[in-house]
A = this chain, B = another copy of it.
Amino acid sequence: MTQKKKPTRPTLQNIADRVGITKMTVSRYMRDPESVSESTRKKIADVSEELGYIQNRAPIMLSKSSSKVIGVLLPSLSNQVFSSFTQGIEVVTNAQGYEIIIAHFSYDEDIEERKIAFLLSYQVDGLILTSTSHTKRSLQMIKTAGIPVVEAMELPESPIDIAVGLDHTKAAYTAVKAMIDKGLKNISYFGARLDNRTQLRMEGYDRAMDEANLEKYHILTHKHSCFTLGNELLSRALSECPKLEGVFCTNDDIAIGTILACSEYGIRVPEDLSIIGYNALDIGQAINPRLTSVSTPRYQIGEKSAELLLASIQGERKERNIYDLGFTIKRGDSL
């Protein structure tokens, strides 16, 4: 099962022996070269270069000092949204000498649990999650670990610790309201991969439609979101509601797919059909008509999450634990 491995790597001891000092001095050099005398510094540098020293985090993890690493759990690696989010995190963490470990859980609570256990097993100093619904055991472990945790993107009513995100329901409501205010009546909601945020957006759609006393058309699929889905959902919507005038899509991929499908079917956007997407990705600006979309501050959410997490790791206690970073409607020509 557990096979032996790897030719033993150079240790601080090895370096110390060669230089003729103790590993303690080498240890000091590694953390702060200035803390040793100039002559030893030079010798250590040479030997460690020659031996190709690689830090071993195990002992650091064992001693109960800070690991200077935070764990980031993303739903998926194929979503642009989370790459900006991660960039935002890293700008902050790198500046403070922290590294991140990335794992992903495919929008699945049980995989999330396994990955949380994995990240915690590395003694991370903090955790950034991108979901708000967790298994019982996940919650247990997080509590036991006793480290700060940020739940990002959504805003749960009672976060585990800190929450940074936006109100997806309100954003969806606002987008759909804009369609209604324009006089549209037959508006459909296109949803895919029915995760929590899709759900929240649907609630926003529902609220706006209910308020205006309009009939709701949920066109949903469990499939993973992609561009070609737009076509499929549009066909279904049209057969269910031939007089369709507007579509609010749970994300831009589907919205773009829908616009493209419209052009194939000879449906004019926005004259015959208005379309609003979610996330305001770059491609919405490349297409004609340009896509109107809910613009979400994911980069800023990443930054803010990291800032708050590091502050908490460093012992700062804030009053507030829920941070709503808002949204805007990116005006295109599809509404």
Chain A residues in the interface with B (C-beta under 8 A): 1-10, 31, 51-59, 61-62, 64-66, 68, 74, 76-78, 80, 82-84, 86, 99, 101-104, 117-118, 120-123, 125, 137, 140-141, 143-147, 226-228, 230-231, 256-257, 260-261, 263-264, 282-283, 285-288, 313-315
How far apart sit A264 and B228, CA to CA, in the bound complex (Å)?
Answer: 22
> Cβ of B61 and Cβ of A61 under 8 Å apart?
yes
| Neighbour of A83 across the interface among B2, B51, B76, B231, CB < 8 A | B76
> Cβ of B144 and Cβ of A51 under 8 Å apart?
yes
Q: Which residues of B are found within 8 Å of A74, using beta-carbon distances?
A: 77
How far apart sit A56 and B119, CA to CA, in the bound complex (Å)?
Answer: 10
CB-nearest residue of chain B relative to A5? B66
| Neighbour of A55 across the interface among B121, B125, B226, CB < 8 A | B121
> Cβ of B141 and Cβ of A4 under 8 Å apart?
no
> Cβ of A5 and Cβ of B86 under 8 Å apart?
no
Number of this chain's copies in the complex? 2
Q: Which residues of B are found within 8 Å of A5, using beta-carbon distances?
A: 64-66, 125, 147, 313
A-B contact pairs, 17 of them (CB 8 A): A2-B65, A4-B66, A5-B65, A6-B145, A9-B145, A52-B137, A54-B120, A54-B145, A56-B121, A56-B123, A57-B121, A57-B122, A77-B83, A226-B282, A256-B286, A260-B287, A264-B288
CB-nearest residue of chain B relative to A58? B61
How far apart sit A10 and B5, CA to CA, in the bound complex (Å)?
Answer: 28
> Cβ of B102 and Cβ of A286 under 8 Å apart?
no
How far apart sit A121 and B286, CA to CA, in the bound complex (Å)?
Answer: 43
How far apart sit A146 and B9, CA to CA, in the bound complex (Å)?
Answer: 8
How far apart sit A102 and B86, CA to CA, in the bound complex (Å)?
Answer: 12
Interface of A, helix, strand, loop or mixed by DSSP: mixed
> Cβ of B286 and Cβ of A231 under 8 Å apart?
yes
Given contacts A6-B64, A52-B143, A57-B123, 15 further A-B contacts (CB under 8 A): A3-B66, A3-B315, A4-B64, A5-B147, A6-B146, A54-B121, A54-B145, A58-B61, A76-B83, A77-B83, A101-B102, A102-B103, A226-B283, A228-B283, A264-B288
CB distance from A34 to the nearest CB of B (A): 13
| Neighbour of A257 across the interface among B1, B80, B286, CB < 8 A | B286
CB distance from A234 to the nearest CB of B (A): 11
How far apart sit A137 and B55, CA to CA, in the bound complex (Å)?
Answer: 13
> Cβ of B62 and Cβ of A59 under 8 Å apart?
yes
> Cβ of A102 and Cβ of B104 under 8 Å apart?
yes
Q: Which residues of B are found within 8 Å of A143, using beta-carbon distances?
A: 52
Q: Which residues of B are found within 8 Å of A54, using beta-carbon distances?
A: 117, 120-121, 141, 144-145
> Cβ of B58 and Cβ of A282 under 8 Å apart?
no
How far apart sit A264 and B264, CA to CA, in the bound complex (Å)?
Answer: 16
CB-nearest residue of chain B relative to A68? B2
CB distance from A160 to the nearest CB of B (A): 14
Q: Which residues of B are found within 8 Å of A230, using beta-carbon distances?
A: 286
Q: Which residues of B are found within 8 Å of A263, using beta-carbon distances?
A: 288
